[in-house]
Amino acid sequence: MTEENKIAQVIELLVNLLGRERVVSDHASMVIYSREIFMPGSIGLSQGKIQNLASAVCYPETVDEVSKIISRARANRIPVIVFGAGSGVLVGTAPSHNGIIIDLKRMKKIRAINRTNHTVEVESGVMCEDLERALNQEGFTLGHFPGSFYHSTVGAWLSTSSAGQLSAKYGRIKDMVISLEGTLADGSIFRTRRTPRSATGPDIDQILLGSDATLAIITSAVLNIFPLPEKKIYRGFGFADVKSGLDAMRELMQKELTPAVLTLFDPAGTKFNQEKLSGPSSGCLLVVGYEAANSELSELRARLGFERLKQMGGTDLGEEPGLKWLEHRYSLPFNQSKAVSQSDTLVDTIEVSVIWKDAFALYEKVVNEISKFGMAMAHFSHACREGVYIYFSFAVSDSDPEKLKEKQQKVWESTMESCLTIGASVSNYPGISLRRAQWLKQELGVGHELLQKLKKEIDPDNILNPGKLELSQEGAPARPSKMEKKE
Amino acid sequence: MKSIAHSSLPKAVVQEIIGIVGEDNFSVMPVQLTSYSRDIWTRKTLEMQAGKLSEPAQMVVWPENVEQVQALVRLGSENEIPLIPLGAASGVCGGTVPLTGGIIIDLKKMDKIRKLDQESFLVEAEAGIIGEVFERELNHQGFTLGHFPSSIYCSSLGGWVATRSAGQLSSKYGKIEDMVVSLEVVLPDGQILRTRTVPAVSTNLSLNHIFIGSEGTLGIITAATLRLWEYPRARAFQGFVFPDLHNGLEAIRNMMQAELRPAVIRLYDPVDTYFSSQGIIEEKPKPKKAGLSAKRGLIHLARKVLPWLYTPSLPNRFLQSRAKKSKLILVFEGEPEIVEMEHKQAKEICLQAGGIDTGEWPAKNWWKHRYKVSYTMSKVFDLGFFVDTIEVATLWDNLENLYYTMQKAITKNALVMAHFSHAYPQGCSIYFSIAATGRTLEDRLKRYDEIWADALNACMQAGGTLSHHHGIGILKAKWMEVEAGGANPLLFALKRTIDPKGIMNPGKLCAGRSVFARNGLKSPAQ
């Protein structure tokens, strides 16, 4: 059977299962689904270059339908990509073969908000913003505010193990999961126990989180929720340099004065955002925010925290920078895309995680390296007791699009090298996927081999999200001729 | 030169092992192997009393570094000999009990603190380090791990990670998986896996989580890097008593959902409350009776109780109908001003739930004796009955259902009481203590198995989880299929991937599947 015949057969099966309205295979739709926010994809698209096209997109509404789709796909050895809102920046949802895309956005029920347990049961296709609004109406919050707040789904967070801007207080999505529902690579359905915690062997929920839909498809989850904070106490502090700013961040996290938001901008970042955030004219801006339903306790922590920051050399800049940060925090990703229209400049970001001991050294090294190719700035966030994330933003320019791409690649390579040398991690949120896969291999070492073997054991036909996380050798982007050779 | 003539392992293998670990670090002495054929699982004590302990392992070794462990694992893999990693063997589910012979790899000689990174609040230590020694060393440096299982004097870091342990102060400091940053594991193929020491990341996390809770079935954990806390600068104690269990549970739930994080939060059910205070709720320290220690007091109590245990439903019914009040113990520690405020707010919440303030003493008293109880158990067995604990968990709206369902299931076979601790905003764990007996040793074993089957069937039916922190071992393996809710294939895939020969701790964690069971390994006689 030819490739085209096989695909036609699958489309027919999908239509039989879901109905014609819930299966789409026209060319225009396939083009739209072939890209997401990742820049080269957008640039390529604007130049008429498309890497891979799926053969069909389908919209299941229940886990049983997902189960049947996977079984059919597996029987026909057609790969499956799971799609939420396409807001990933790491090519997580780009089709690798002429596969099927399962768009989960029709699984959009918020099944239950449980006031006694402080949990919510929610399907993977629900958008962040919608979930948060529904919870707010009941007096709760999920506490999860990724930069893609307005255009990401629950399923996306779970498969990429995302973190939001208030993760210092509320935790990352992995800390919020009570139970998962979904299907394995053979289509069988699973529902893990609803318990706050167990000692019943390896934690399956945690193993599946961040696996980027390569080991299973998650269709719904039971998540922790938090009562809405009554009061938000946000403030800005000025520090002379990055080193003293980092020391101050570390102090708050290690002395239980944990704020909800703790973000330090380096001098370049502080200058770039100065107008928007009313930051200092030189040095570094540290945005600190305390918020909690328990306002008495929160106010105490804020008072102690602000005192400590002053003791460590911080200049109190008042509320304004904090409040302005709150106002502008989502506009950053949208502002970056403005640069796309200037065809000779490329803007990109790299996040890495590092322990406190190595944080400043890594920052200095990476910024120096990037300066050879373009402009760089950084901010530090998602602090915890043992370390912090560094979020580098850089811009490279060149009139030649090939040279431009080269410069971007060089920045990535040198940054990843610095991380591997110093011992930091290239693999924090929001997921791994094709872009970082090559460095992931080096970072994980023996662990990478283990995950590859696990993938092969769980999904021997390489149906689920092939090629992502560089977990399957045969998963690299392929043209139809390659697949025919496999037969 | 030790005598190895009687060993059931091939001579060449024994010689190779001596080559790896040295003369001093192995043993095939029958008495030693017998002592290693049990952990603290109650059933093993009963078996010992009945003279029915299972076949011991073929050898025990004490490697001193990860390279020796690596060589041992390679040897085991080549010769298909079962390997059982072991810390201090204080598990209560048979996790380190050899079922098919093999070699016990006792890690207690790998007990160093390798590195303390004071700036990053991280410590790297070897798996064989004993809990209390570890904690004491950290305290000297101004830190605490925050991990205080009641077995702290006789459990190891490797054991904690392998079983997903939780300590008595977990409501503040978290459980072992909250503390692990990275692991060093010797895989069944002999490779060493070292996960990265970096703040939580998406893939590093899943690698750690493959081994946390693997109970020795996927590899040998030889070291771990953990995140630390500053040693607390203040501590506060508080006791309360509630008119009934429901009000006490409401108080705990409200405290956790108000974002308070008491280090210790323990609510005793009415039966336990009745026992520990013998009907009187103590509000101040009792004068010490001449010559009567805590241990003797317990034995004195035990002698009174023993005759009743032949028909447990009688004392159970009596206690369950008569006992009403529920005792709460709280301990706060950390930054002084935060401790003070949490303490104040907790009092308000408890008073609002109908609680009566009993002052500091009940909590201080518990704190003082918190490790002693376990060590008095052996006397209880000598008196002819047995005790055990069954610990489960669930979400708040199911908690009382789970409690009463399980209590009912256990009540005909054992005296049963419980306390609630390890509280979360979402739910809580229930810790049942049971005491029972039988007229003959065989009778006791039979009754023991019945109690557990009834309890766990009830637990599964009522939507609870099989174990909150003791783990699975042999004892609960049968119920893993139900517990996993369809996700078991992932567990089997992990095992097939990582330990295709099935040499790592066979027979544990999962029952009924060859890959976790014996899988055609050579019997000891060969």
Q: What number is the ipTM of this complex?
A: 0.93
Q: What is the pLDDT of residues A4-33, one digit of tens each?
A: 787 788 889 899 999 999 999 888 888 787
Selected for mutation to probe chain A from B117, B186, B202 (highest A CB count within 10 Å) is: B202
Owner of token pair 């001093």: B24
* A86 has a pLDDT exceeding 60: no
> What integer best gives the mean pLDDT of chain B?
91
Residue B511, helix vs strand vs coil: coil
Q: What is the distance of C-alpha A100 from the center of its chain?
A: 22
CATH top-level class for A110-227?
Answer: alpha beta
Higher pLDDT, A284 or B516: A284
Is there a contact between A284 and A247 (Cβ–Cβ < 8 Å)? no
User: Any idea what DSSP says for residue A399?
Assistant: S
Q: Which of A324, A296, A332, A354 is nearest to B346 (CA)?
A: A296
Contact B335 A256 (CB under 8 A): yes
Q: How far A180 CA sits from the closest chain B CA (Å)?
A: 10
Residue A310, helix vs strand vs coil: helix
* A181 has a pLDDT exceeding 50: yes
Is there a contact between B37 and B56 (Cβ–Cβ < 8 Å)? yes
Q: Which amino acid is at A294?
A: N
Other CB atoms within 10 A of residue B486 CB:
16
DSSP H helices, B7-91, are 11-21, 30-35, 42-49, 66-79
Listed in order, the ranges of chain A carrying CATH 3.30.70.3450 are 231-328
The mean pLDDT value for B366-374 works out to 88
B111-125, B188-202, B210-224: lowest mean pLDDT where? B188-202
Q: What is the pLDDT of residues A340-368, one digit of tens each?
A: 446 688 888 888 889 999 999 999 999 99
* B360 has a pLDDT exceeding 80: yes
Q: What is the pLDDT of residues A215-239, one digit of tens each?
A: 899 999 999 999 999 889 999 999 9
Is there a contact between B230 and A250 (Cβ–Cβ < 8 Å)? no
Listed in order, the ranges of chain A carrying CATH 3.30.300.330 are 332-442
Q: Is the dihedral of CA A160, A163, A165, A170 positive or negative?
A: positive
* A332 has a pLDDT exceeding 60: no
Chain B within 8 Å of A427 (Cβ-Cβ)? yes
Other CB atoms within 10 A of residue B172 CB:
20
Out of B120, B165, B341, the one facing A386 most closely (by C-beta) is B120
* B417 has a pLDDT exceeding 60: yes
Listed in order, the ranges of chain A carrying CATH 3.30.465.10 are 110-227
Give the whole-number percent of chain A exceeding pLDDT 70: 81
Instruction: Output the DSSP codes for A147-176.
Output: TTGGG-BHHHHHHHT---TTHHHH--HHHH
Selected for mutation to probe chain B from A195, A208, A304 (highest B CB count within 10 Å) is: A195
Selected for mutation to probe chain B from A74, A158, A193, A243 (highest B CB count within 10 Å) is: A193
Is there a contact between A430 and A147 (Cβ–Cβ < 8 Å)? no
Contact A210 B471 (CB under 8 A): no
pLDDT class of A482 with cuts at 50, 70, 90: very low
- Tokens (6 digits) for B511: 């029952």
Predicted local distance difference test score (pLDDT) of residue A476: 32
Predicted local distance difference test score (pLDDT) of residue A483: 24
> What integer best gives the mean pLDDT of chain A?
83
Q: What is the pLDDT of residues B379-402, one digit of tens each?
A: 888 888 899 999 999 999 999 999
What is the reported pTM?
0.92
Other CB atoms within 10 A of residue A275 CB:
9
Asked, as a colleague might, if the bond just before A430 is cis with ω within 30 of 0, I would say yes
CA distance B497 to A449: 10
pLDDT class of A43 with cuts at 50, 70, 90: low
Tell me the chain A residues in contact with residue B426 when contact means C-beta distances shorter than 8 Å: 117-119, 178, 196, 224
pLDDT class of A189 with cuts at 50, 70, 90: very high
* B203 has a pLDDT exceeding 60: no
The mean pLDDT value for A113-141 works out to 95
Q: Which of B85, B222, B59, B97 is nearest to B473 (CA)?
A: B97
CA distance A362 to B237: 44
Instruction: Output the DSSP codes for A238-264.
Output: EESSHHHHHHHHHHHHHTT---SEEEE
pLDDT class of B293 with cuts at 50, 70, 90: low
Residue B111, helix vs strand vs coil: coil
The mean pLDDT value for A364-378 works out to 92
Other CB atoms within 10 A of residue B111 CB:
18
Q: What is the pLDDT of residues A438-476, one digit of tens each?
A: 666 666 778 888 988 999 999 998 888 876 655 444 333
Predicted local distance difference test score (pLDDT) of residue A484: 27
Predicted local distance difference test score (pLDDT) of residue B518: 59
Give the whole-number percent of chain B exceeding pLDDT 70: 91
Predicted local distance difference test score (pLDDT) of residue A447: 87
Query: Residue A123: left if φ>0, alpha if ψ -120 to 50, beta else—which one?
Result: beta
CA distance A10 to B177: 43
Contact A446 B163 (CB under 8 A): no
CA distance B281 to B248: 15
Query: Any residues with CB less than 8 A from the CB of B314 and at least 6 apart, and which?
Result: B308
Residue B186 burial (10 A CB sphere; 0-12, 13-18, 19+): buried
* A431 has a pLDDT exceeding 70: no
* B292 has a pLDDT exceeding 80: no
Which secondary structure element, helix H or strand E, spans residue A392, and what is its range?
A: strand A387-397
* A69 has a pLDDT exceeding 70: yes
pLDDT class of B221 with cuts at 50, 70, 90: very high
Q: Which of B168, B402, B369 is nearest to B269 (CA)?
A: B402
CATH number among 3.20.20.70, 3.40.630.30, 1.10.3720.10, 3.30.300.330, domain A332-442: 3.30.300.330
CA distance B212 to B265: 25
Q: Which of A80, A70, A78 is nearest to A182 (CA)?
A: A70
Give the whole-number percent of chain A exceeding pLDDT 90: 47
* B470 has a pLDDT exceeding 90: yes
Tell me the chain B residues in contact with residue A445 when contact means C-beta distances shorter than 8 Å: 193-194
Out of A201, A216, A357, the one facing B509 most closely (by C-beta) is A201
A456-465, B36-45, B68-77: lowest mean pLDDT where? A456-465
Is there a contact between A201 and B472 (Cβ–Cβ < 8 Å)? yes
Q: What is the distance of C-alpha B302 from the center of its chain?
A: 24
The CATH number of domain A3-105 is 3.40.1830.10: no
Chain B within 8 Å of A389 (Cβ-Cβ)? yes
Out of B204, B337, B486, the one facing A190 most closely (by C-beta) is B486
Other CB atoms within 10 A of residue A62 CB:
14
CATH of domain A231-328: 3.30.70.3450
Tell me the chain A residues in contact with residue B421 when contact means C-beta distances shorter than 8 Å: none
pLDDT class of A434 with cuts at 50, 70, 90: very low
Give the number of beta-carbon pairs within 8 Å between A and B.
Answer: 285
Chain B within 8 Å of A464 (Cβ-Cβ)? no
- CA-CA distances (angstroms) from residue B347 to A292, B263, B320, B329, B390? 20, 15, 28, 11, 30
* A164 has a pLDDT exceeding 90: no
Is there a contact between B207 and B196 (Cβ–Cβ < 8 Å)? no
Query: What end-to-end distance do the CA atoms of chain A give, in Å?
Result: 10
User: Any idea what DSSP says for residue B504?
Assistant: B
Strand ordering across the sheet containing B103-106: B26-27, B59-61, B103-106, B83-86
Q: Which A-chain residues 285-314 have CB contacts (< 8 A) with chain B?
A: 292-294, 296-297, 300-301, 304
Predicted local distance difference test score (pLDDT) of residue A287: 96
CA distance B145 to A237: 32
Give the start-end residues of each E strand in A104-230.
110-114, 119-123, 140-141, 177-184, 189-191, 216-224, 226-227
Predicted local distance difference test score (pLDDT) of residue B153: 96
Please count the CA atoms within 13 angstroms of the CA of B251 that sit on its side-chain side.
Answer: 35
Tell me how many degrees the CA angle A171-A175-A178 measures, rounded to the nearest 5: 140
